[in-house]
């Protein structure tokens, strides 16, 4: 069975099957955990922290979108 994944801001529509949705969810969540771990490091430059925070926000949004499909 195919599902349609629609990402709003830049509008991307993709038809993918449930197995691929699960793999994508796992990969994004794993990457999110790694980014969160880097954010907890001390002594990072402020500009790098801001970029990592923006990346974390984007990843969380993607994970939430996929959770809506599951």
Residue 67 three-state SS = helix
pTM for the complete prediction?
0.68
Q: How many residues are present in the chain?
A: 70
Residue 20's pLDDT is what? 81
Kindly state whether residue 52 falls inside one of the protein's structural domains.
Answer: yes
Kindly state whether residue 10 falls inside one of the protein's structural domains.
Answer: no
Q: Is the pLDDT of residue 6 over 80?
A: no
Range of the domain at 46: 18-69
Residue 31 CA to residue 55 CA, distance in Å, equals 10
Kindly state whether residue 3 falls inside one of the protein's structural domains.
Answer: no
Residue 7 CA to residue 9 CA, distance in Å, equals 6
What is the tally of structural domains in the chain?
Answer: 1
**pLDDT per residue as tens digits for the range 25-43:** 888 889 999 999 998 888 8
């Amino acid at each position: 069975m195919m599902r349609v994944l629609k990402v709003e801001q830049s509008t991307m529509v993709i038809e993918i099957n449930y197995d691929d949705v699960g793999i994508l969810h796992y990969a994004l969540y794993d990457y999110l955990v790694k980014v969160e771990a880097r954010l907890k490091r001390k002594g990072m430059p402020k500009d790098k922290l801001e970029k990592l925070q923006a990346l974390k926000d984007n990843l969380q949004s993607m994970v939430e979108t996929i959770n809506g499909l599951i």
